[in-house]
Amino acid sequence: MIFNTALVDALMAGDHADPFAVLGMHFEGGALVVRALLPGADQVWVLDAADGATLARLERCGASAVFAGAVAEPSAGPSEGRAAPFPYRLRVDWHGTLHEHEDAYRFPSLFTGDYGGRPYEAMGAHPTRIDGVDGVNFVVWAPNARRVALVGAFNSWDGRRHGMRLHPQRGVWEIFIPQIGPGELYKFEIKTAFGATLLKADPYAFRAQLRPETASVVHALPAVVPAPPERQRANALNSAVSIYEVHLGSWRRADHGRRWLNYRELAEQLVPYVRQMGFSHIELLPVQEHPFDGSWGYQPTGLYAPTSRFGSPEDFRFLVETAHAAGIGVLLDWVPGHFPTDAFALAGFDGTHLYEHADPKEGFHQDWNTLIYNYGRQEVRDFLAANALYWIERYGIDGLRVDAVASMLYRDYSRKEGEWVPNIHGGRENLEAIAFLRRMNELVCSQRPEAITMAEESTSFPNVSRPLEMGGLGFHYKWNMGWMNDTLRYMQEDPVNRKHHHDKISFGIVYAFSENFVLPLSHDEVVHGKGSILARMPGDHWQRFANLRAYYGFMWGHPGKKLLFMGCEFAQAREWDADASLDWHLLDDPAHAGVQRLVRDLNNVLRAYPALHQVDFEQRGFEWISHEDRENSVLSFVRRADDGSCVLVICNFTPVCRPGYRIGVPAAGRYRELINTDQLQYGGSGVGNGVLATDPSGMHGRAQSLALTLPPLATLMLVLEN
């Protein structure tokens, strides 16, 4: 029946669950019937798409905005001539203005449900062409919705205009909108099973509006980035890895601090600086779209969209390409552990707890007032695991630092007794999250073996950075939070008391080879009242800088890859403020400039001497000379490379110069200082050794030894000259 009051009322109320069964062209009662819902239209005609001929004028259905009419002579069946559906266009009189357009309801479905581990290739908004007509195909997962419609400026944000087609077997809704393209704003209007209407951004959007606006933006799926072998070599366990962690909004600001640098300006300024400083990688605090600046990106709402704060997706890709051209890898902080409760995003997406757990004991993160993903749901696992691959494949990202892994591994994380739900075995481990992390790492390793993943994991959960086939989680690296906490506590002690806390500085070696560790001095150590790293060093002005330099020397000599948060490389004096630029003016002070020069030289030495990086994760790459001189707060050890070459590291953590301090050495010969953190050029007192020859005085169980002058509060690195 062409006209049906109940049907028209349902369409006008936006309450018809299957508009594709009604709107568009259908064979009914022996004729082809066209229906169109066009609020605001005065008249509507059907045109033949082949030649533009007018085929019919549609009649308004009562006082509604539904227009309907037959466009072909009655026929015995749909296979005879023009009785079969054919391409057509609509001419619409909008209050005296005529406009011709394609009807979204004449186009077939493109969704096959087969996306081979890359759902982003089908889900979301994809510019495409059907039957010679350009447009955008939209797909969204909302299995419990009563109805889903696409809204945007192209339909005056009217949810009645473009109700979507349901694929019930997958719980997804789809529609092709002709004659629109990249740059269009859109959302999904979802009517829940309970009758409420929600307006949601696209979880798979490749671009999003700048906050406080929340619409998704049509953008083409970025092309796949080739995987050059040199990137895999740079990420390898035996490479020199020194990471510069950056918050893009506060590294440096333009116009006297009034605006952010954009991605292209960062490519021009940040990348050359990182290269000059000798870092191998830049790690970016989350760049996925997020609504609240104060979250620093750790509460993302658009996992597939680079934040529009700093430009377009193409601009972000330019930043990555510029870094690669300079020989610098790019790592992203990635947040699969939780998401914010903002109404426009994932929370209660289709009126049910779709992405999150329904039980707050499982689905609500008490520390951050956020929601926890339901890792037991296949579509959620696919959404997240594919996102990890997306950034690597489509932007050439070299690796992901996975945030808050500990909060994912344990069901009782930050919860009291009675506030959490045990797993099926009655234990505290989150078996579903563990399976997800293993699957994510497997996907990344199998599809992009040049890339790496790093876990920010603060507990002693075993085998985080061990391969899947060994029962591990499959991460390449794990942040060494224990080392960071112990050594910072040690450095905060007055040097006169350090002999009572000597184990804190040496204890890291006890477990240094149980995982593939990164030594992190990250943003978390310079916020929330902790002050800067420099501010935590004891003593007067000179001693604070000397302590910091000695600490950095120890860190670069210690087994493990290195990570330093921006500003720490020049001894930022105040706590990090995400709303302001770093204090670059401090470099006018020789003390700050000296620390910056030291970090640059440490990075250059790290890269130049394999003994300092090649065997970071095996006992054979490290040997104590002595960790027992707690009375003088002195440590000494050897770092070794595969070819047997070595670097000696000696640390004096008291402000006392120690002439004639003897240490045993691996071999006789002349040893030259590579690094002396007390050099004048670094702001030190200038006490040093230059080149020293061994003598056959036994020490520390070795036949040969050196008599050194240990500078006050300093670290030395020495190498045997050939």
| Per-residue pLDDT tens over the stretch 600-633 | 999 999 999 999 999 999 999 999 999 999 999 9
Domain map of the chain by residue range? 5-106, 119-217, 224-335+375-479, 611-720
User: In this structure, how many other beta carbons lie within 10 angstroms of the beta carbon of residue 62?
Assistant: 11
The Cα 612–Cα 623 span in angstroms is: 12
In the predicted structure, residue 34 carries a pLDDT above the cut 70:
yes
What pLDDT score was predicted for residue 73? 55
What pLDDT score was predicted for residue 292? 94
Tokens of 585: 């003016």
| SS3 letters across 452-490 | EEEECCCCCCCCCCCCHHHCCCCCCEEECHHHHHHHHHH
What pLDDT score was predicted for residue 105? 96
What pLDDT score was predicted for residue 29? 80
In the predicted structure, residue 12 carries a pLDDT above the cut 90:
no
Which position has the token pair 């357009």?
101
User: In this structure, how many other beta carbons lie within 10 angstroms of the beta carbon of residue 46?
Assistant: 25
CATH architecture of 224-335+375-479: Alpha-Beta Barrel (3.20)
The Cα 53–Cα 556 span in angstroms is: 77
Q: Which of 185, 215, 392, 368 is nearest to 289 (CA)?
A: 215
- Third-level CATH fold of 5-106: Immunoglobulin-like (2.60.40)
Work out the average pLDDT over 35-63: 93
Q: Are 251 and 266 in contact (CB under 8 A)?
A: yes
What pLDDT score was predicted for residue 85? 86
Q: Are 714 and 653 in contact (CB under 8 A)?
A: no
The Cα 264–Cα 49 span in angstroms is: 44
Which position has the token pair 């020199």?
240
What pLDDT score was predicted for residue 80? 46
CA atoms within 13 A on the CB side of 509: 22
Q: Distance of alpha carbon 257 from its chain centroid, rounded?
A: 26
Classify residue 661 as exposed, middle or buried by CB count within 10 Å of its CB (0-12, 13-18, 19+).
middle
What pLDDT score was predicted for residue 10? 85
User: What is the pLDDT of the chain when averaged over all its residues?
Assistant: 94
| Per-residue pLDDT tens over the stretch 189-206 | 999 999 999 999 999 999
In the predicted structure, residue 683 carries a pLDDT above the cut 90:
yes
pLDDT confidence bin for 75, thresholds 50/70/90: very low
The Cα 91–Cα 53 span in angstroms is: 11
Q: Distance of alpha carbon 620 from its chain centroid, rounded?
A: 34
Provide the percentage of residues in the chain whose pLDDT is more than 90: 90
Work out the average pLDDT over 414-420: 92
pLDDT confidence bin for 78, thresholds 50/70/90: very low
Q: Are 366 and 414 in contact (CB under 8 A)?
A: yes
- DSSP assignment of 299-339: S-SEEEEE-GGG--HHHHHHHHHHHHHTT-EEEEEE--S-B
Quick one: the chain helix, strand, coil %, rounded to 5? 30, 30, 45
In the predicted structure, residue 187 carries a pLDDT above the cut 70:
yes
In the predicted structure, residue 282 carries a pLDDT above the cut 80:
yes
Handedness of CA 333, 337, 343, 344 (dihedral sign): positive
Residues sharing a CB contact under 8 Å with residue 588, sequence separation 6 or more, in sequence order: none
pLDDT confidence bin for 30, thresholds 50/70/90: confident
Q: Which CATH number fits domain 119-217: 1.10.3810.10, 2.60.40.10, 3.20.20.450, 3.30.479.10?
A: 2.60.40.10
Q: Which one of 403, 432, 486, 515 is the catalytic residue?
A: 403
The radius of gyration of the chain from alpha carbons, rounded to an integer in Å, stands at: 32
The Cα 102–Cα 152 span in angstroms is: 17
What pLDDT score was predicted for residue 83? 65
643: phi then psi, degrees, rounded to nearest 5: -85, 5
In the predicted structure, residue 168 carries a pLDDT above the cut 70:
yes
The Cα 123–Cα 620 span in angstroms is: 49
Work out the average pLDDT over 520-528: 96
Q: Which of 66, 63, 55 is nearest to 11 (CA)?
A: 66
The Cα 613–Cα 594 span in angstroms is: 24
The reply to whether 456 belongs to the active site is yes
In the predicted structure, residue 642 carries a pLDDT above the cut 90:
yes
Which position has the token pair 């266009």?
89
In the three-class reduction of DSSP (H, G, I as helix; E, B as strand; rest coil), residue 693 is classed as: strand
Q: Distance of alpha carbon 240 from its chain centroid, rounded?
A: 22
| SS3 letters across 389-435 | HHHHHHHCCCEEEECCHHHHHECCCCCCCCCCCCCCCCCCECHHHHH
Q: Which of 511, 510, 446 is nearest to 474 (CA)?
A: 446
In the predicted structure, residue 77 carries a pLDDT above the cut 80:
no
The C-alpha angle with vertex 447 and arms to 442 and 451, in degrees rounded to 5, equals 80
Q: Which residue has the higher pLDDT, 79 or 715?
A: 715
In the predicted structure, residue 68 carries a pLDDT above the cut 50:
yes
Q: Are 239 and 229 in contact (CB under 8 A)?
A: no
What pLDDT score was predicted for residue 502? 96
Instruction: Classify 611-720 by CATH class.
Output: mainly beta
The C-alpha angle with vertex 337 and arms to 334 and 340, in degrees rounded to 5, equals 95
pLDDT confidence bin for 2, thresholds 50/70/90: low
* Fold equal for 119-217 and 611-720: yes
The Cα 718–Cα 664 span in angstroms is: 13
| Per-residue pLDDT tens over the stretch 537-569 | 999 999 999 999 999 999 999 999 999 999 999
CA atoms within 13 A on the CB side of 79: 0
The Cα 33–Cα 39 span in angstroms is: 19
Work out the average pLDDT over 242-249: 98
Q: Which one of 245, 450, 456, 616 is the catalytic residue?
A: 456
Which position has the token pair 């709303």?
579
What pLDDT score was predicted for residue 263? 98
Tokens of 510: 């006890």
Q: Which of 440, 401, 639 is nearest to 523 (CA)?
A: 401
Max intra-chain CA distance, the chain:
111
Q: What is the pTM of this model?
A: 0.94
- DSSP assignment of 140-169: EE-TT-SEEEEEEGGGTT-TTTTBPEEETT
User: First vs last Cα of the chain: how many Å apart?
Assistant: 96
Residues sharing a CB contact under 8 Å with residue 603, sequence separation 6 or more, in sequence order: 242, 277, 278, 279, 280, 556
Residues sharing a CB contact under 8 Å with residue 702, sequence separation 6 or more, in sequence order: 625, 664, 665, 666
The Cα 636–Cα 638 span in angstroms is: 7
In the predicted structure, residue 79 carries a pLDDT above the cut 80:
no
Q: Are 181 and 135 in contact (CB under 8 A)?
A: yes
The reply to whether 131 belongs to the active site is no
